[in-house]
Amino acid sequence: MENYYETLGVKNTASFEEIKAAYKSLAKKYHPDKHQGDKYYEDLFKKVNAAYQTLSDPQKRRLYDLKQHYYYNPPQKSGKAQGDSASKPRASRQPRPKPATTPEPKVSNKEIRIYLYTGLALMLLVVCSVLFYHYMNNKMAAKTHEEAVQFEKNGEWLKALESYTESISFDESYAPAFQKRALLRLHMLGDYRGAVLDLTKAIDNTENPSWDLFYERGKANIKIKKIPRHWKILTNQLEKILPKTAVIYTGAKFYNTPKEIADLHILITYFF
C-alpha cells in the first residue's frame, strides 16, 4: 500500500494547508511540461496528484487512514484460525517506498567556460594593476628627481634634499635619486654617514656601477674618521706623485677599515 504522506513529504498529522502547499511545490517540480515529457517525471507527477486527491478530501482521508492502520497493524486471529496462522509462515512485510529524489543538476560546458574566462580576466586585471602601479611609481620618481635637480641648480639645497627623498619614496630602487642625494649630503650638508648609506643603495641598485660611486663612498668613509696630523703630512707629499684616488686608498689601508679598503681597492683598478 502506497504511503501518500511520504509521497507528499508530510507527516500523517499534517493540516490541509500543509498538504496543499506540499502538493503545489511537488507538482511544479515534477510537471511533465517542465521536463520535456520525461516518463520518469510523469510517473512522479501522477503519484503526487493521486496522493493529493485522497488527502485533500476529508472523507477520503479518514478512509485512507483507516486502511493504512489495518495494513500495518492487522488484527490478531483467535482459536483454530490463530493456530493455523501460527503454523504457516507469515508473509514478509514489504518495505515502505522511499521518496523519489531529484537528480543533481550537471554543470554544462558553457558554464565551465564562463567560469574559466572570468577567472582569467580577474588574474589579468590584477597583473595589469600591479604593472601600472609600478609604472606610475617609476614615472613619479623620475619627475620628482628632475625637480630636485632644478632646486639643486638654483642653490636650494633643502628643497632638493626633500625632492630626492620624495623620489625615493615612489621607487626605493631608483639609483639616480640615491646618488644625487648622497652627493648633496657629502659636499653641501656634511652628512657623511647618510652619504655612505645612499651611495651603498645606488651601487646595489645599479647593474654596472661606475667608479665614481665607489670613489665618493670612499671619501665619505674617510670623512667619518679623524685623520691624524702625521697622515695629513704624508698625504700632501703623496699627492705630488700619485693620483688622489691612490692617496685615499693608502689612507684606507692605514686605518685598516674593511669598507674603505673594499671601496678604494676597486678604484685603484681603474687607474693602475
pLDDT of residue 153: 86
Domain at 34, CATH number: 1.10.287.110
pLDDT of residue 67: 83
pLDDT of residue 134: 84
C-alpha cell of residue 1: 500500500
Residues 183, 255, single domain; the answer is: no
94 domain residue, yes or no = no
Residue 208, sorted as left (phi over 0), alpha (psi -120 to 50) or beta, turns out to be beta
Using 50, 70 and 90 to split pLDDT, how confident is the model at 100? low
Residue 233: pLDDT over 60: no
98 domain residue, yes or no = no
218 domain residue, yes or no = no
Residue that is written with C-alpha cell 529524489 in the block: 101
Domain that holds residue 152: 108-209
Residues 115, 197, single domain; the answer is: yes
pLDDT of residue 160: 87
Residues 205, 233, single domain; the answer is: no
Residues 192, 128, single domain; the answer is: yes
Lowest mean pLDDT among 26-30, 224-228, 260-264: 260-264
How many CB atoms sit inside 10 A of residue 264's CB? 26
Residue 264: pLDDT over 70: no
Residue 35: pLDDT over 70: yes
Q: How far is CA 14 from CA 29, 121, 266, in A?
A: 21, 52, 95
Decide: helix, strand or coil at residue 227: coil
Residues 70, 20, single domain; the answer is: yes
Among 165, 182, 209, the domain boundary falls at: 209
Residues 179, 252, single domain; the answer is: no
Residues 200, 115, single domain; the answer is: yes
95 domain residue, yes or no = no
Among 187, 209, 231, the domain boundary falls at: 209
State the Cα–Cα distance between residues 41 and 103, nearest whole angstrom. Answer: 11
C-alpha cell of residue 145: 628627481
129 domain residue, yes or no = yes
State the Cα–Cα distance between residues 174 and 261, nearest whole angstrom. Answer: 26
Higher pLDDT, 86 or 202: 202
Q: How far is CA 196 from CA 87, 121, 169, 224, 225, in A?
A: 110, 46, 18, 10, 13
To the question of pTM greater than 0.85 for the whole model, the response is no
Contact 177, 169 (CB under 8 A): no
Using 50, 70 and 90 to split pLDDT, how confident is the model at 119? very high
C-alpha cell of residue 213: 660611486
DSSP state of 10: -
Summarize the confidence of residues 177-184 as an average pLDDT: 91
pLDDT of residue 256: 43
State the Cα–Cα distance between residues 141 and 181, nearest whole angstrom. Answer: 13
pLDDT of residue 103: 66
Residues 203, 231, single domain; the answer is: no
215 domain residue, yes or no = no
Domain at 125, CATH number: 1.25.40.10
Residues 116, 205, single domain; the answer is: yes
103 domain residue, yes or no = no
Residues 112, 70, single domain; the answer is: no
State the Cα–Cα distance between residues 148 and 266, nearest whole angstrom. Answer: 30
92 domain residue, yes or no = no
* Total domains, the chain: 3
Higher pLDDT, 72 or 220: 220
Residue 165: pLDDT over 90: yes
How many CB atoms sit inside 10 A of residue 247's CB? 19
Contact 261, 217 (CB under 8 A): no
Residues 77, 115, single domain; the answer is: no
Among 87, 121, 149, the domain boundary falls at: 87
Contact 256, 244 (CB under 8 A): no
Residue 241: pLDDT over 70: no
Using 50, 70 and 90 to split pLDDT, how confident is the model at 69? confident
Residues 54, 140, single domain; the answer is: no
Summarize the confidence of residues 68-91 as an average pLDDT: 60
